Amino acid sequence: MKKFLFANLLWLISTLLLISPSLSAQEETEAEEVEPVDTYISFIATYTSNDTVVLTANLYIRNGRVRVDLENAPISFTVSEGTEQIEAGETFTDSTGIAQVMIATSSLLRNEEGMVTYMADFAGTDKYLSTSEMFVSKPAKLEVSFYEEDSVKYIRVKGYQFTSNGEAEPISDETILMFVPSLFRPMPIGDVWLEEDGSGSMEFPMTLIGDSLGDITVIARIDEHDSFGYVKGESNCEWAVPKHLLSQDKPTRELWTPVAPLWMMITLLILLAGVWGHYVYAVVELVKIKRSAKKENIQEKDWSNYS
């Protein structure tokens, strides 16, 4: 038994002695050679209803399965039609790793099919490798308007696409997704089918809640389209239900509502009236003391004159 234990102990010590130099050598190698990390960009171009295109690049690295956004990194954007290339701007990523620039669609370079090639480029640093991403799409535009027919309210959407020489043509046979802004992400309210003439409509949902005046923004969107990529159009109307922050059936602290805290006002007024009433009483007593003193002086004077 003793022999067995001794043999095991000897084996353990020798193993440790053999492993430890190799471990420390590995650590030294790691400390000396720190390789730059791979970086990634997710990049899209979104056409808006005010004739601009918003280029959005999200720079990040991968730490195992976790995606880590890179902050304060310079991203340069370019636009090309295949051969010729122009600078669209350079900006730094924010705390969420996003860099954005907005350019006018009139300044875009288009190829023969009207397609535009956008590039987002990160030049890299000592710690992070360079990366770039391309996005190709055809300029398009969505217009949102409102109309009323037979007392029914409608949302109208018109879609245009632009040819290589910048001429507008209707977008037909496409489904447009409709949203209204919400707290975290846009809330879908339906979709609109674009006819041959590039227009379509849907009934305005009368249950939508707007701001205190009933104003609301309606958004029309094309997402991940093979030709247009991302297109967004928006417009405001006053047809939503006005939002009241106060629920009328609950007691509130505001004095201008039908459920104002009258109990508080009444209590306060009774207290104040009671206290100030007593003050007035005390002051009146002081005034009477002064008056009685005057009367006394007059009587004394009269008596002295008489005597």
Partner 1 sequence: MANEKELALLKEFAPQIEHTNLIQAVWMFFLAAVVGLGFYALYVQIAEGHEVTGMRDNVVWGIYIVNFIFFMGVSYAGALISGTLHLFRAEWRKPINRIAEYITIIALLIGPCYILLCIGRLDRLQYLVLYGRIQSPITWDVIAISTDLFGCFIFLYLAVLRDIAAIRDFQAIRIPKWKRKLYTWLALGYTGTTEQRERLHRATDVMAAMVIAIAVIVYSVLAWIFSVTLQPGWHSTIFGPYFVIAAVFSGCGVMIVVMWLFRKLYHLEKYITRKHFVNVGVLMLILAALFGYFTFSDYLTKWYGSERNDELLISLLFDEYYWLFILSNYVGVLLPMVVVGIKRLRTINNITISAVIVVLALWVNRYLIVVPTLESPYLPIQDSRPEWLFYSSTWVEWALTAAGIAFFALAFTIASKFIPIINVSEMADSSTLEDEEILT
Name the site residues for partner 1 (rule: CB under 8 A). Answer: 253-255, 261, 264-265, 268, 271-272, 275-276, 278-279, 281-283, 285-286, 288-290, 292-294, 296-297
Tell the smallest beta-carbon distance from residue 243 to partner 1 (Å).
Answer: 22
CB atoms near residue 292 (< 10 Å): 10
Q: Which CB, 241 or 264, lies closer to partner 1? A: 264
Name which of 78, 77, 107 is nearest 92 in CA terms: 77
Tell the smallest beta-carbon distance from residue 94 to partner 1 (Å).
Answer: 14
SS3 label, residue 170: strand
Tell the smallest beta-carbon distance from residue 136 to partner 1 (Å).
Answer: 39
Separation between Cα atoms, residue 208 and residue 196, nearest integer Å: 29
Per the CB < 8 A criterion, the answer to whether 161 and 172 are in contact is no
Pairing mode, strands 140-149 and 216-225: unpaired
Separation between Cα atoms, residue 203 and residue 153, nearest integer Å: 6
**b or e along 75-84 (b: 16 or more beta carbons within 10 Å of the residue's beta carbon)?**
bbbbbbbeee
Q: Which CB, 263 or 306, lies closer to partner 1? A: 263
Per the CB < 8 A criterion, the answer to whether 230 and 222 are in contact is yes
Q: Which CB, 50 or 72, lies closer to partner 1? A: 72
Q: Which CB, 9 or 246, lies closer to partner 1? A: 246
Tell the smallest beta-carbon distance from residue 301 to partner 1 (Å).
Answer: 13
Tell the smallest beta-carbon distance from residue 263 to partner 1 (Å).
Answer: 12
The secondary structure element, H or E, covering residue 51 is: none
Q: Which CB, 150 or 285, lies closer to partner 1? A: 285
Q: Which CB, 72 or 292, lies closer to partner 1? A: 292
Per the CB < 8 A criterion, the answer to whether 141 and 93 are in contact is no
Pairing mode, strands 40-47 and 229-237: parallel
Tell the smallest beta-carbon distance from residue 132 to partner 1 (Å).
Answer: 32
Q: Which CB, 226 or 285, lies closer to partner 1? A: 285
Separation between Cα atoms, residue 190 and residue 64, nearest integer Å: 39
The secondary structure element, H or E, covering residue 183 is: none
Tell the smallest beta-carbon distance from residue 293 to partner 1 (Å).
Answer: 3
